[in-house]
Amino acid sequence: MNRPGILTAGVDEAGRGPLAGPVVVAAVILNWKKPISGLNDSKMLSAAKREALFDIIQQNALAWSVIHVAVADIDRLNILQATLWGMACAVKALDPYPERVLIDGNRAPDLECGEVHTIVQGDRLEPCISAASIIAKVSRDRHMRKLHDHYPQYGFKQHKGYPTRQHLQLLAQYGPCAEHRSSFAPVRNLLQQSLFD
């Protein structure tokens, strides 16, 4: 779908499932004159490979953008609407503005461009979505490592906010912090319990 001469943006997110931290959305317009080898779904790549490709994408893409959707917005809008809002913001931030947008998954926000396509597992099928997947994942992982410095008791640098056994144990031990999503059941349940303690 990414034909030469057609400005095509790939869009993907990282962090819909975690209990803490932002959802991060990236949009990338690749330069077809500067192909990048090794692009794939970020989850299929090692951390070292993602970091290397992150720099290559930023150096060679025609345009890229990253949007961090804060926990407060996730709790206010719900995770789906927050993600769609982040996608719209990421596309609007691109310069040049794309003629076509390819989005990983099956839902798309309203966008002011000629074509919008959703592609299930698009991060494995379309290089521009793969690039967006890598930018979003690396950006979010870096953010969660910074959050770890502020909240070391939760182990954010290990699990990145996902509901691992370790995270759930630490969440129960210390209670939620400001970076936990109060609209997500494990966090919400703890907050409700604390009202009756």
| Cis upstream peptide for 96 (omega within 30°) | yes
Nearest to 30 by CA among 68, 59, 62: 62
pLDDT in tens, 57-83: 999 999 999 999 999 999 999 999 999
Whose tokens are 């967006």? That residue is 132
Nearest to 141 by CA among 25, 19, 15: 15
Domain ranges of the chain: 8-150
Structure tokens, 69: 């959707």
CA distance to 26, 162, 166, per residue, from 65 (Å): 6, 24, 32
Whose tokens are 């002011």? That residue is 112
In the predicted model, is pLDDT for residue 15 greater than 60?
yes
Q: Bridge-partner residues for 67, per DSSP?
A: 25
Task: Identify the pLDDT of residue 196.
Answer: 57
Q: Which CATH number does 8-150 carry?
A: 3.30.420.10
CA gap 13, 91 in Å, rounded: 12
pTM across the whole model: 0.94
Helix axes 165-174, 185-196, angle to 10 degrees: 20
pLDDT band for position 5 (50/70/90)? confident
pLDDT in tens, 96-119: 999 999 999 999 999 988 899 999
In the predicted model, is pLDDT for residue 173 greater than 90?
yes
CA gap 118, 98 in Å, rounded: 15
Task: Identify the pLDDT of residue 187.
Answer: 97
Task: Identify the pLDDT of residue 1.
Answer: 47
Mean of pLDDT over the chain = 95
CA gap 155, 137 in Å, rounded: 18
